[in-house]
Structure 1
């Protein structure tokens, strides 16, 4: 009985060791397998001449793809194990409904051309108005004309004159009131102007004081020795990571220029930020007078997930980096 239990425990131990070895092998393949890429670009001073293509594969071609742009058309194709995705598959998937629509359109037009059989035989005519209604309308209009033609009575004339005088007096009185109100409102506004000036001046002073305090806090945070060492470590690790990510083969021969020379200068300033990395195999010529885009670019290289793991490991195991990260989370201006 004891031998059977020991044999079962041995089997369980071997199974656990096999699973662990398989997991270690998978992680090693995942970290060490290179992501291989190859990019090409060319242009000859016209939009039609622009051509470009990118090819990549990972995990021994288990995942691969191709992206290209040529003659104004953009095509892409990605394969993950036995699954395939791409622009050609999209076109094939979209083609059957388009054919159905085309087949249905002529049938619809044939049906629309035939006249409908069920139509009303005759339209209902509106009933003519009766003669009695016309007579009543005529009588009403005659009465209204007589009322309007009657001359105004002599008694109403003096009343209308008195009303006009009263109305003119009221208007004058209301005009005087509005003038007084306007003058008082303008005077009150003038009184409030110095108070507003004082308020704005105090507000500006408070903002300046708060900005000075924020500047002092930020300078104290940056001048801390722990934070300085953490930032210097970050710069070193980023440089090392870019060194790992450098392409194995590259050649850049480019001449560019915009209609506005300012945009050419902005583009050249952006390129100068990465020029230390590509300066060995790059020839860039800016043209500040003409709109030009000529040249070719070729880049080939490998990227491994191990590089990112090394970067994260070195940053996390640094005590100064950890303390700086905690201080950044708590920091408030």
Structure 2
């Protein structure tokens, strides 16, 4: 009975652990799908300097990633924070501690080796020098004999190589007509294959399945872009060129995108000087469930699967 009780306790502990892990996994999935990923960016530009910062956060800034650059200081950087703790600094401190431990262990080994080390007696040194001298003389004699044999073999190989090169040139001359005919035949086959591929690609692009699949991709892509685009844009920009006509054309092109940046963003043209300066800040968010629904719609479509099979 005692053994059975212990086994049941172990199984109970394993079951509780598995339930905890399953709960953590489900919470993570729900967080990714229903907790928004927020992003923000700021930038500036004036006569002498420019810079900016971008940040992506999740779970109410419990997890965040940021990058920045400042031309006045000439430096760029990035950082990762989890629960407000700078992860990169923690990893750097841990690596420094490991290096210190390695250095201490290496110094201890060196000190132990110095304490236990002994010098080689003079008699042993003389015998070692004598043995190494005799072995070097024997090696020199063997190398001299080998070099003579190699010289004779090299002369024979050179003569044989000249004869083979001459024979190869004669064969190449007789093979020229056959090579020309083979190249012409391959060109015909290649041209025919290219024409067949062009015909197949044209039929594929004109098929109804391809058109429906591309319409679905464009439709869902617009939805995802509308969902991901920034909800708030603020700032101002002052620009100008020496050509008033070009400045007016740029201002007209910027007016096309007015629905994107709205009234909180001002554009000031200068028609009498070349200038570019201003500030901008934007914020937005995205939900994983929205992107997942669009992705599932695209992947479940038979037309999309037909396009994927064609390219594979």
What TM-score bracket applies, with the shorter chain setting the length? Answer: 0.5 to 0.7
- Per-residue deviation, 1:200: 0.6
Q: CA deviation at 1:223?
A: 0.5
Return closer, same or farther for 1:190/1:73 CA change in 2, 3 Å cut-off: closer
Q: Does 1:210 align with 2:213?
A: no
- Give the paired residue count: 224
1: distance between equivalents of 2:289 and 2:278? Answer: 34
* SS, match of residue 53 in structure 1: strand
Structure 2: stretches of 5+ with no match in the other structure: 1-25, 131-158, 240-256, 268-275
Instruction: Give the 5 Å matches for 1:86-97.
Output: 86-97=87-98
Counterpart residue number, 1:328: 307
CA distance in 2, matches of 1:330, 1:65: 38
Closer, same or farther in 2 for the Cα pair 1:120/1:64, shift >3 Å?
same
Structure number with greater Rg is 1
Over the residues paired in the alignment, what is the CA RMSD in angstroms? 5.0
Q: TM-score, normalised by structure 2?
A: 0.52
2:62–2:81 CA contact under 8 A, matched in 1: no
Q: CA deviation at 1:100?
A: 4.5
Structure 2 counterpart of 1:40: 42
Separation of aligned partners in 2, 1:302 and 1:235: 21
The aligned counterpart of 1:222 is 205
> In 1, Cα distance between the equivalents of 2:98 and 2:29?
45
Q: Which residue does the alignment assign to 1:3? A: none
Deviation, 1:246, is: 0.9
Residue 212 of structure 1 deviates from its aligned partner by 0.7
- For residues 53 and 278 of structure 2, the distance between their equivalents in structure 1, rounded to whole angstroms, comes to 15
SS at match of 1:299: strand
Unaligned runs of 5+ in 1: 1-23, 128-173, 256-274, 284-292
User: Cα offset for 1:302?
Assistant: 1.0
Aligned counterpart, 1:58: 58
* Partner deviation per Cα, 1:17-68 (whole Å, 9 max, x = no partner): xxxxxxx99987654432111123456799xx66443333323344344444
Pair 1:195-2:178 in alignment: yes
Cα distance in 2 between the residues matched to 1:332 and 1:90? 44
| Distance in 1 between residues matched to 2:220 and 2:67, nearest whole Å | 32
Alignment of 1:118-129 (within 5 A): 118=119, 120-121=121-122, 124=126
Indicate if the aligned counterparts of 2:53 and 2:67 stay in contact, CA closer than 8 A: yes
Find the aligned partners of 1:124 and 1:219 in 2 and give their Cα distance: 87
User: TM-score, normalized by length of structure 1?
Assistant: 0.49
Report Cα offsets for 1:230-273 as digits up to 9, x if no partner.
Answer: 21221122122112211123458699xxxxxxxxxxxxxxxxxx
Cα distance 1:241–1:117, how it changes in 2: closer, same or farther (>3 A)?
closer
1: CA distance between counterparts of 2:188 and 2:82?
Answer: 63
Q: Deviations over 1:205-241 (max 9, x none)?
A: 1111111111111111111123212212211221221
User: For the residues of structure 2 that align with 1:42 and 1:103, how far apart are their CA atoms?
Assistant: 48
- Are residues 109 and 254 of structure 1, via their aligned partners in 2, closer, same or farther at CA, if it must alter by over 3 Å? farther
| Distance in 2 of aligned mates of 1:194 and 1:282 | 75
